[in-house]
Amino acid sequence: MLGMYCMQPLKVIIEKHADGYVAYPVGISGVIVGQGDTYDQALADVKSAIRFHVETFGAESLSVDEPVIEAFVAEASV
């Protein structure tokens, strides 16, 4: 089922924290998160979570009205 979505890659944010890495895709409905001790482990875990999400909720659960073209990280003082 995920095969048709492999043609259009998802953008994934990977954050480094003191106790490891957290990864999540942007621009899709639902909550999908991966984690790991390394960047690669977090990325592999979020890919697995995306596959599980598709198996559970169907491939259409990854479709969005307006896909994310680019993702940026900014810092702001408030």
- Per-residue confidence (pLDDT) for residue 30, from 0 to 100: 76
Percent pLDDT > 90 in the chain is: 45
- Between CA 46 and CA 14 the distance in angstroms is 10
Could you count the other beta carbons within 10 Å of the beta carbon of residue 17?
9
Indicate whether 44 belongs to any domain: yes
Higher pLDDT, residue 74 or 15: 15
| Number of domain units in the chain | 1
Which tokens go with 3? 């095969």
Indicate whether 22 belongs to any domain: yes
Indicate whether 34 belongs to any domain: yes
Which tokens go with 19? 């106790």
Q: Give the global pTM.
A: 0.78
Indicate whether 11 belongs to any domain: yes
Answer yes or no: is pLDDT of 44 > 50. Answer: yes
Task: Give the full edge-to-edge strand order of the sheet including 12-17.
Answer: 12-17, 20-25, 34-36
Indicate whether 43 belongs to any domain: yes
Domain range for 52 is 2-62
Does residue 74 contact residue 22 with C-beta atoms inside 8 Å?
Answer: no
Answer yes or no: is pLDDT of 13 > 80. Answer: yes
